[in-house]
Amino acid sequence: MPFDAASKTALEGITTATLTTILLKKGLRNVWIRGGMPIRAGQARRVGPAYTLRFVPAREDLATPASWASPISTRAAIEGMDEGVIAVVDGLGVTDAGIFGDILCARMAYRKVEALVTDGVVRDLKGVLGTGLPVWCNGAAAPPSVAGLTFVGWQEPISCGGVAVFPNDIIVADDDGAVVIPAALLDEVVAESVEQEAMEAWIMEEIGRGTPLPGLYPMNPETKARYAATKASKP
């Protein structure tokens, strides 16, 4: 896995709001996974490379409890997950059939999967919460996946919440949902985001002092100079 510990640590300190600002400045406007929100309030930020799973709609001859034992099954896909990956599941935005319940989430937690992100929903909400697996999803529903979905593969390019996700893209998920950083852009995004985050923290201090917005955010040359001086004065 080419995802290094330093990038991970840096990204754990950056909001997805900042990341989307940086990505937009690079021309990427569509990187936020619609429908994938934290399953519980205050869930800590999670960062990791994408491990993708893909469903197509249910067809009664394919989507059966028997299919769960097929070699192409969610079970097989889960057994291939390494520690630290973020499972990203194309659930087709289906909200009336849960992609996974307590058993599969427990196994993912056991394998130290960093998080589960999907535009679909989970089932057996209480059980899933009990496993401790961090989940970003679109809610909960009682019916099993086969009531609406057929599993077809993993580690392929997928659609998730209206966003393209490729295996090994970097996923960052927090209170504002989950964002995709294309693997090729990782280093420059990390570098610029760290600087942006520091700058916005200083602006928030200024707001607390009553500084009006015009000239402050975005900064005009005078404010930029003042900010530069502040940075320079720090040890």
Residue 43 within binding range of its own copies, rule CB under 8 A: no
- Write the interaction track for its own copies spanning residues 1-20; mark x where CB under 8 A is met and - where it is not: --------------xxx-xx
Based on the shown chain and the rule CB under 8 A, indicate whether residue 225 belongs to the binding site for its own copies. Answer: no
Place of tokens 């993993």: 154
Side chain identity at 33, as an amino acid letter?
Answer: I
Question: By C-beta, is 116 or 141 nearer to its own copies?
Answer: 141
Question: Nearest Cα to 121, choosing from 35, 57, 42?
Answer: 35
Contact stretch for its own copies (CB under 8 A) within 5-13, 81-89, 158-166, 186-194: 158-166
**Strand 158-160 with 115-118, pairing:** unpaired
Q: Peptide bond preceding 218: is omega within 30 degrees of 0, i.e. cis?
A: yes
Is residue 152 at the binding interface for its own copies, with CB under 8 A as the rule? yes
Instruction: Return the range that interacts with its own copies (CB under 8 A); candidates 4-12, 81-89, 198-206, 224-232.
Output: 198-206
Q: Are 132 and 107 in contact (CB under 8 A)?
A: no
Nearest to 180 by CA among 53, 7, 47: 47
Count of residues touching its own copies (by CB under 8 A): 90
Of residues 58 through 117, those in contact with its own copies by CB under 8 A are 58-63, 65-66, 68-69, 75-76, 78-79, 92, 95-96, 98, 101-104, 106-107, 110
Do residues 35 and 121 make contact, with C-beta atoms less than 8 angstroms apart?
no
Among 1, 4, 13, 25, binds its own copies (CB under 8 A): 25
And the tokens for 57?
Answer: 């709609």
The region of 1-9, 186-194, 217-225, 226-234 touching its own copies under the rule CB under 8 A is 217-225
Closest CA to 163 of 177, 175, 149, 151: 177
Taking contact as CB under 8 A, which single stretch among the options 1-9, 187-195, 209-217, 225-233 is the one that binds its own copies? 209-217
Among 3, 10, 200, 226, which residue interacts with its own copies (rule: CB under 8 A)?
A: 200
* Residue 203 in contact with its own copies, rule: CB under 8 A: yes
Of 103, 96, 91, 80, the C-alpha closest to 150 is 91
